[in-house]
Amino acid sequence: MPERIVSDRVLTVPNALSFVRLLLVPVFLVLIVRGEDMWALIVLVISTVTDFFDGVIARRFGQITRLGQLLDPAADRLFIFAAVIGLAVRDVVPWWLMILLISRDLLLVVLGIVLANHGFGPLPVHHLGKFATFALFYAFPVLMLGQAVPETAAIAVPIGWAFALWGAFLYWWAGIVYTMETARVIRSPRPQAVPASDTLNG
């Protein structure tokens, strides 16, 4: 099995699949806003399948790249935002939930700027953030299922809301952890001779 080395390549099959996922985001959003929930779910399934093969091909054929490590989570995040924005426009979910999720990511943008100004790269992804993304990534499709197939609403809607609220809570919990870690990092002394690192090891 090829050694898992992260390269700077751009033109790889996994990166192409990630670009396809990004191109599907606006299609997904338009379908939700128009109330075409079944088609939106089909687009989401296609995205999930391409995401799976993206990871398999990258690991199997040694095509793990820095660009891919950025594109893959970005696509997940954008699908979450597209879902919550589209469902908020239709009043399926409240606007406060959309504002809550977007404001948390704006916080991370600010933290990234603060770290960059102090010569540090972005913080490593915390496991709370991964759990939150997982919960949100499944919350909105389940809510959409309740809209697309009314017969499933009695089960899908409570489950979808459980995932959504738990995901939002973890999302902000992770945001607080990132804030505390940023404050700790920028206050810690750093040897002048050592260049800024792209990763933080604690």
Q: Which two tokens stand for residue 148?
A: 């697309």
pLDDT tens track for 119-159 = 887 777 788 888 998 899 889 889 989 988 999 999 999 99
Average pLDDT of the residues in 6-28: 87
Q: What is the spatial distance between Cα 89 and Cα 83, in angstroms, rounded to a whole number?
A: 10
Domain ranges for the chain: 1-92, 93-187
pLDDT given for residue 202 in this prediction? 44
Cβ-Cβ contacts under 8 Å for 97 (sequence gap 6 or more): 84, 88, 164, 168
Q: What does the pLDDT look like over 55-104, one tens digit per residue?
A: 888 888 877 888 777 888 888 888 889 999 999 999 989 999 999 999 99
- Range with the poorest average pLDDT among 76-85, 157-166, 184-193: 184-193
| Cβ atoms of 87 and 140 closer than 8 Å | yes
pTM: predicted TM-score of the whole model, two decimal places:
0.78
pLDDT exceeds cutoff 70 at 194: no
Residue 93 phi, psi (nearest 5): -125, 150
Q: CB of 64 within 8 A of CB of 5?
A: yes
Q: Residue 10: phi, psi to the nearest 5?
A: -110, -45
* Angle at alpha carbon of residue 109, lines to 90 and 102, rounded to 5°: 15
- The answer to whether 144 and 41 are in contact (CB under 8 A) is yes
Q: Where are the beta strands (DSSP E) in the chain?
A: none
